[in-house]
Amino acid sequence: MTEIIWTPSLVEEWLSEAADTLRRLPDTRVQGNASTWPPYVREYWESYGIAEVTLRRPPPSAAAITRMDQALPWLRHLDPDDAKIVWLRATGEPWKVICWKVGMTRSAAHRHWLFALCVIAWTLNGRSIPRHISKVDLIARTRAAQESEECLRTLPRATQMAGLG
């Protein structure tokens, strides 16, 4: 089996799936009094099915729960503010709400989000993050590494198509 090369976009997909999986898990309830009687009809339109029905998505699969359990500990590699931004973004919050909750401008929050995704990708790929590196430099290095890996992956196909290999 091939080893996964983690990129910030792949990390983002996994965290978004983890947030969606967590949202689809059944609610936890405290066991209370139970009744074997049928539900009581309070109004006449409830008896005819006119009341609104709340639909839920089906529960997540076991594989999705396993991937969620693998992805959630990744947030421990981050500063609390960066982890909050990444999680809010994974849950689908708009940037305006995220900026209001963390107290940053849109550009600063986006920079922190990109940096956090790059930190997670670097950590998952087994690389250590240089000590004195700026957010912008780490993002640029991650993009350059991602582009070079994509180039190396397409090189054998390009040489075969050109008839050189």
Q: What is the pLDDT of residues 23-78, one digit of tens each?
A: 998 877 777 777 777 767 667 666 666 667 677 788 899 999 999 999 999 999 89
For the segment 125-149, what is each residue's pLDDT rounded down to a tens digit? 888 877 788 878 888 887 777 776 6
CB-neighbour burial class of residue 93 (10 A; exposed 0-12, middle 13-18, buried 19+): middle
Question: What is the rounded CA–CA span in Å between residue 126 and residue 146?
Answer: 15
Neighbours of 94 (CB within 10 A): 10
- Whether 45 and 78 have beta carbons less than 8 Å apart is answered as no
142 near 134, Cβ under 8 Å?
A: no
Give the ranges where the chain is alpha helix by DSSP (H): 8-24, 44-47, 62-71, 80-90, 95-102, 106-124, 135-162
CB 102 within 8 A of CB 84: yes
Contacts of 2 (CB under 8 A, 6+ apart): none
| pTM for the full predicted model | 0.74
